[in-house]
Chains A and B, each alone.
Chain A
Amino acid sequence: MFRAFLTATKIQTRIGIKEKPCLNLHGNLPSFQCALGKNQVRRKSSIRQAPLLTASPVRALMDEQICIKGRFLPPLSPITVYAQMHSEDGDLWESFAHYNTNSSGSINLTSDHSVGGSYVGCEPMGLFWGLHPAPGQREGLRLRKNNVESPYTIHISLLEGHISPRAGQVTELAAVTTERWYMAPGERRIEIRQNGIVGTLFLPPGPGPFPAMLDLFGMVGGLLEHRSALLASRGYASLSLAYFGHKDLPGPEKCINVGDSYFKKAFHFLQDHSQIDGDRIGVTGVSFGAYLTLRIGIQIGVKPSCLICINGPIGSVSKLVDESGRTENFESDQKHWTFDDQGRVSFRKVSLPSNIPAKNKVKVENLTCPLMYIVGEDDLGASSLETADLMEETLRSAGKSHLFTRLSYPGAGHFIEPPYAPNERMSLWSIKPQKLMSIWGGHPAPHAAAQEDSWKKILDFLESNLRR
């Protein structure tokens, strides 16, 4: 390109023809049309329709697939699609993929195959689940949205050639900015601090009454709202409930200081809500939250319509303080922690059914409503396979197999979340007494597939059990 520029100028000065700069396809370097008068050379015009990159819909919900297309690119040419975004903490996350345009100069991420980059093959949403911290960011990051009322903003660009975005000078051919939202327009977020309950309620738009979900996360603690926000965007009222590691809950730290009566109150709160249909309430939980889901569903005296458990134990992995489910410090008993050769901890064996005292286990045989159990077969955070086996066997013996649905995903890790968010195979667990990384498992593509498929099945399961 540069050489052509020099040649054109030389010829230009020689014969004094006025040039008209034409379309800047590549940033600052104009390509000159050469009208050479008698000196015959006919050069092919470099005027082309400038590349166009579109994403549809450009504002989508986090669990919506979008269609990314590039057009008016050079035919049969290598291009790179590059996505970047900043997390709430200011970390840069990015992904990229290499494609070849077709003979019309187009690409369509819904049908074309990536030949390299953060993912390969036909992956319409690969740019999103393939996001990873850019080189130079802090170690062990997890992507978590604290403020679910604002979207993630992801800038996607088309770059010339098959390149790594880090490779110095890049030429941006076209760009589009997308937003990904956890909440639908008209959806309401209500902080709940009453009767000792610490949670956030999400209500769908509309008059109600709505079916509802009680939503529980794991021992990472705090109050994670994103799944509830998405459930409400799909028409289910949903209460994210904190039970551990939250400043508004009673102390001491690292123990679960609330028991069965707390969860019962939360369930009744939903039942009594004027915009919730009290006969259509389900419970869902991941990791330790999955055990709590079983406990709530079976032994505390409430009757949910359905339960969804993801990668969690069948009983409390922490020593119980009392009958109501309160536990001791989760980290006080580390005998089942295992470490890999890089000093990263896996909690998998902690929840092996054989490591859990019998009295700590939920009596699954007393199940009275449909239960879905979701397994990531590469789960290094919990013994999900063994737990699922035990549950399946227990229910079969009790003649209740018809209540049990098992979803099992090879290559998927511990955090099976709503789709298109990246999975982190490991993350920073603690910094005191020294930095400790925990390993959760899951390989990018199969984990992403598991999230996509399981979410669809979760929504269908809720549709059948809470809406019919």
Chain B
Amino acid sequence: MDRNQTCVKLSVEPSRALMDEKILVLVQNGSPGSQLTIHALHRCEDGHHWEAFAHYTTDATGTVNVSQDPSLGGTYSGVEPMGLLWSLRPVPGSKPGLRMRKKDVQIPMEVRISVYRGHWTEGFLDRTPLAGVVVERWYVAPGVQRIPVTENSLTATLFLPPGSGPFPAIIDLYGGGGQLIEYRAALLASRGFAALALDYLTPKVTKETGKVVKNDYFEKAYQFLQNHPQVLGHRIAMLGLSFGTTITLKMAAYSEVIKLSCAVCIGGSHVQPVDGSVEEGLQFIHRNVAKAHFSERNEVITKDLFLPLTTDPSLRVDMGRIRCPLLLIVGEDDQSWPAYESAAHIKLMMERAGNDHLLTVLSYPDAGHLIEPPYLPHFRSSFYKSVGIAQKFMALWGGQTVEHCRAQEDSWRKLLLFLREHLYGRSTSVLRSHL
């Protein structure tokens, strides 16, 4: 019996973690100065396999510590404690344009991490590893409740943190692909916020009547939260990505009903018809779709739909009307929306209006459009079905993998601090008096 096989110890801690938590990968009892490949394998809910791998050399004690030692090559290089997760990519031979998105957030993502003798770049499934472990990555913390919401024609899911509450809340909006996307809201609930994942492009009411929802749909969502016994009705925020930003800025600036404690906008723009609602916003995009062009790999670039940024005030949100703290998260290599250019213009508008003290911009060079929770893999493009466009197409999101993944990690941490600061109140302060 090969001594090495019995002796080599692979440990990953914690073996069960939340999606935004770091892991420590350690190989011990290997031969000193020997070549090892650490491999990660994940089977998605849709059946596709994703993998990552990195080449290491054990030190004099026969140890590899992924948090401290450099990868000499593979799907990532250098010292990257979380590289085995964020550099996951579809295995060779997979369909092009795949995207990893968790549908059932109540069961964890399972990743099998193995260590092989030698430096390999392929054929992992045909070899026997020296050791292997399984790690679970969870979107929900224990005790988080998942509550489907259908009242008042809403199509939504409410996630509540454990405990009696009441909790501040966040309305969580994804973008033009529609569907009820729950994973970010689930993770926010695991971090102490009631979170409402809201489907506003493909809700039941739209599927049944063919009618696109109007602004009152979001106001109803807000009122649902206000009335909920476990929600602090006066501490509600909105978080939107892509077209979700369009909605968030419109509500923050113009809604008489929605009074946000703060807002977060990722990868979006303030350029949209001021009048009207979702349908007008979508039509505006479709009107300009001729401006979209193709990369040399035939990926669709839509950012230029809005460039140059319009000077027509009826086509952009009056940012001077914003009354709550606003966090903009921008990938400077965003190929889908002109988030970078929009952020610059937003800043200008708010400086002129005198409310720029409310604005924080996090801008990441070489990050793309889809700035998601950390350690999710980056892909420069994927097959995309936009609501209102009949055909699926390969959308270019942009971003360079390493920088994009750093942006996800950094922005999530700052997003949570921002939300905590504005939803859970400030440090003890003396109240202004109306003197």
Residue positions of A touching B, CB distance < 8 A: 17, 20-24, 27, 33-38, 40, 42-45, 47-50, 52, 56-61, 64, 72, 153, 155, 157, 172, 174-179, 181, 184-186, 205-211, 233, 235, 277-280, 467-468
Contacts known (A209-B1, A209-B6); A177 close to B143, Cβ less than 8 A: yes
Question: With an 8 A cutoff between CB atoms, is B235 at the interface?
Answer: yes
A47 touches B429 (CB 8 A): yes
Question: With an 8 A cutoff between CB atoms, is B131 at the interface?
Answer: yes
B232 touches A47 (CB 8 A): no
B134 touches A205 (CB 8 A): yes
C-alpha gap A390/B424 in the complex (Å): 63
Q: Which residues in chain B, 374-428, are within 8 Å of chain A measured between CB atoms?
A: 420-421, 424-428
B427 touches A155 (CB 8 A): no
* A34 / chain B contacts, CB cutoff of 8 Å: 431
* B6 / chain A contacts, CB cutoff of 8 Å: 209-211, 277, 280, 467
Q: Which secondary structure dominates where chain A touches chain B?
A: loop
A277 touches B132 (CB 8 A): no
A23 touches B424 (CB 8 A): yes
In the assembled complex, how far is the CB of residue B227 from the closest CB belonging to chain A, in whole angstroms? 15
* B136 / chain A contacts, CB cutoff of 8 Å: 59, 185
A47 touches B425 (CB 8 A): yes
Q: Which residues in chain B, 130-187, are within 8 Å of chain A measured between CB atoms?
A: 131-136, 138, 141-143, 162-164, 166
A206 touches B10 (CB 8 A): yes
Question: With an 8 A cutoff between CB atoms, is B203 at the interface?
Answer: no
In the assembled complex, how far is the CB of residue B58 from the closest CB belonging to chain A, in whole angstroms? 16
Which partner residue on chain B sits nearest A45 by CB separation?
A: B431
Q: List 12 A-B contacts (CB under 8 A).
A: A22-B234, A35-B434, A42-B433, A43-B431, A44-B431, A56-B21, A176-B162, A179-B142, A185-B136, A205-B133, A206-B10, A207-B131
* A205 / chain B contacts, CB cutoff of 8 Å: 112, 132-134
Partner of B29, one of A59, A179, A467: A467
Number of interface residues, chain B, beta carbon within 8 A: 51
Question: With an 8 A cutoff between CB atoms, is B125 at the interface?
Answer: no
B431 touches A235 (CB 8 A): no
Which partner residue on chain B sits nearest A207 by CB separation?
A: B128
Question: With an 8 A cutoff between CB atoms, is B110 at the interface?
Answer: yes
C-alpha gap A72/B420 in the complex (Å): 11
Extra 6 A-B pairs, beta carbons < 8 Å, given A45-B431, A172-B164, A209-B6: A23-B232, A40-B435, A59-B14, A64-B14, A185-B110, A206-B133
* B433 / chain A contacts, CB cutoff of 8 Å: 35-36, 40, 42
Question: With an 8 A cutoff between CB atoms, is B285 at the interface?
Answer: no
C-alpha gap A153/B428 in the complex (Å): 35
B234 touches A21 (CB 8 A): yes
C-alpha gap A208/B16 in the complex (Å): 22
Question: With an 8 A cutoff between CB atoms, is B240 at the interface?
Answer: no
Residue positions of B touching A, CB distance < 8 A: 1, 5-7, 9-10, 13-18, 21, 29, 110, 112, 114, 128-129, 131-136, 138, 141-143, 162-164, 166, 192, 232, 234-235, 420-421, 424-435
A59 touches B138 (CB 8 A): yes
In the assembled complex, how far is the CB of residue A429 from the closest CB belonging to chain B, in whole angstroms? 35
In the assembled complex, how far is the CB of residue B236 from the closest CB belonging to chain A, in whole angstroms? 13
Partner of A60, one of B1, B14, B21: B14
* A27 / chain B contacts, CB cutoff of 8 Å: 164
In the assembled complex, how far is the CB of residue A48 from the closest CB belonging to chain B, in whole angstroms? 5
C-alpha gap A277/B131 in the complex (Å): 14
* A49 / chain B contacts, CB cutoff of 8 Å: 420-421, 424-427
Which partner residue on chain B sits nearest A49 by CB separation?
A: B424
* A153 / chain B contacts, CB cutoff of 8 Å: 142-143
B15 touches A184 (CB 8 A): yes
B141 touches A61 (CB 8 A): no
Most chain A CB within a 10 A radius of its CB, from B112, B128, B141: B141
Which partner residue on chain B sits nearest A176 by CB separation?
A: B162
* A20 / chain B contacts, CB cutoff of 8 Å: 234
* A72 / chain B contacts, CB cutoff of 8 Å: 424
Partner of B163, one of A36, A59, A174, A280: A174
Which partner residue on chain A sits nearest B163 by CB separation?
A: A175
In the assembled complex, how far is the CB of residue A74 from the closest CB belonging to chain B, in whole angstroms? 9
C-alpha gap A45/B9 in the complex (Å): 55
B138 touches A48 (CB 8 A): no
B112 touches A186 (CB 8 A): yes
A45 touches B430 (CB 8 A): yes
A50 touches B9 (CB 8 A): no
In the assembled complex, how far is the CB of residue B208 from the closest CB belonging to chain A, in whole angstroms? 38
B142 touches A206 (CB 8 A): no
In the assembled complex, how far is the CB of residue B372 from the closest CB belonging to chain A, in whole angstroms? 21
* B424 / chain A contacts, CB cutoff of 8 Å: 23, 49-50, 52, 72
